Structure 1
Amino acid sequence: MAQSSKATARLLDKTELDLVARTQRGAIGALPDDELRDLAAKLRERRDKARDGARRQKREMRGKAEPKGAKPASDNSGTKAKADALTAALKRVGAERTRRAEKEKAPSQRSLARKALALKQRQSAAQRPASRTAGKGMRPVENPKAVKSGALNDAGARPAMMRSKIARQS
């Protein structure tokens, strides 16, 4: 679950808070690739340290390990929340690095447009005839059942004549 900025500020020390602040939406896009890589390494180191501390505290609470301090830990929720906050920041860095890698792999609109133009020119050149005459192209085939235009025995001639007769009478 996402934590509020106040809760995150309470969990982290100043350097960790600065690292997490650099992973926020507006700031992470402005970082160069090498700084993003360094930021990921620092966050990973801090996250591992906090996670190991939370695991140690959990073992102390169960009595499986000797206490690191004067008395065994009674709660590890703060250390665990700190590790979670650093993990969330590390995920944001990873997502940004993946986004940048995908952006570099994707072809630009300019290259796609040039490729489409070349394909179009190659295709249209293959379809265009060498001359303006059809040569041995398609020939019309007469329908032997079709009646010549204007024939009186044509099926549509009678209604047409009736319409014209009515039109002349009025």
Structure 2
Amino acid sequence: MSLSTKQLKRVLDKDEWDLMARTRSHAIGDVPDADLRDLASGLRGRRDKARDIARRQRREIRGKVAPQGAAAASDDSGTKAKADALTVALKRVGAEQTRRAEKLRQPSQRSLARKAMAMKMRKEALKRPATRTPDEGMQPIVNRRAAPSGALEHAGQHPAMQRAKFAR
């Protein structure tokens, strides 16, 4: 379940809110790579701390461990919400790092154009044999068993004219 900005500000402290704000979609694209790594490590440390505190609070609620403070914890929902919010921010940073790595692996337009030009030059360098004539199109193959041209016209036309009862 995602939290609203108002709920996030209530759950996170000032430093954590500043880290979280840098991971928002409009701001994360402007963060340099080195700062992105630092941001991820800072978020990871704070998330781990919040997760550990939430685990300790759950153990206090169950009575498995002595209370850390004056009284035993009665609820861990705030600390759990903090850990969840920091986890979501950490996932956004990881996704941005993956996106940037994929972008670096893609070939540039310049290298693709050079590759296409090299392929074109190689194709032009290959000489076709003189026996091929691509500009003349297909060459007919004469059927030697067929009757000479015009020999069957009258014989083929005669039955059609008789069926129609008039000349075409």
Q: TM-score range by the shorter chain?
A: 0.7 to 0.9
Q: Any stretches of 5+ residues in structure 1 without a counterpart?
A: none
The answer to whether residue 161 in structure 2 is matched with residue 149 in structure 1 is no
Superposed displacement of residue 108, structure 1 = 1.4
Amino acid at match of 2:93: V
- The separation in 2 between residues aligned to 1:39 and 1:156, in whole angstroms, is 93
- The separation in 2 between residues aligned to 1:33 and 1:81, in whole angstroms, is 28
Structure 1 residues 24 and 155, CA, compared in 2 at 3 Å: closer, same or farther?
A: farther
Kindly report which structure 2 residues correspond to 1:125-140, keeping only aligned pairs within 5 A, or say none. Answer: 125-126=125-126, 128-129=127-128, 131=130, 134=132
TM-score by length of structure 2 reads 0.83
The number of equivalent residue pairs is 160
Superposed displacement of residue 116, structure 1 = 2.6
- The separation in 2 between residues aligned to 1:155 and 1:52, in whole angstroms, is 102
1:71 aligns to what SS in structure 2?
coil
In percent, how many aligned pairs have the same letter?
Answer: 60
- The separation in 2 between residues aligned to 1:155 and 1:117, in whole angstroms, is 60
Amino acid at match of 1:58: R
Paired position in structure 2 for 1:115? 115
Q: Any stretches of 5+ residues in structure 2 without a counterpart?
A: none
Give deviations 1:18-69, integer Å, cap 9, x for gaps.
0000000010000100010111111111111101100010111111111110
1:31 aligns to what SS in structure 2?
coil
Paired position in structure 1 for 2:78? 78
Paired position in structure 1 for 2:96? 96
1:36 aligns to what SS in structure 2?
helix
Paired position in structure 2 for 1:68? 68
1:49 aligns to what SS in structure 2?
helix
Structure 1 residues 88 and 154, CA, compared in 2 at 3 Å: closer, same or farther?
A: same
Paired position in structure 1 for 2:56? 56
Check conservation: 1:147, 1:154, Cα contact below 8 A.
no
Structure 1 residues 142 and 31, CA, compared in 2 at 3 Å: closer, same or farther?
A: same
Amino acid at match of 1:18: D
Give deviations 1:71-115, integer Å, cap 9, x for gaps.
100000100000000000000000000100010011112212321
Superposed displacement of residue 7, structure 1 = 0.8
Superposed displacement of residue 156, structure 1 = 8.0
CA RMSD of aligned residues (A): 2.7
TM-score by length of structure 1 reads 0.82
Amino acid at match of 1:116: A
The answer to whether residue 26 in structure 2 is matched with residue 26 in structure 1 is yes
Superposed displacement of residue 2, structure 1 = 1.6
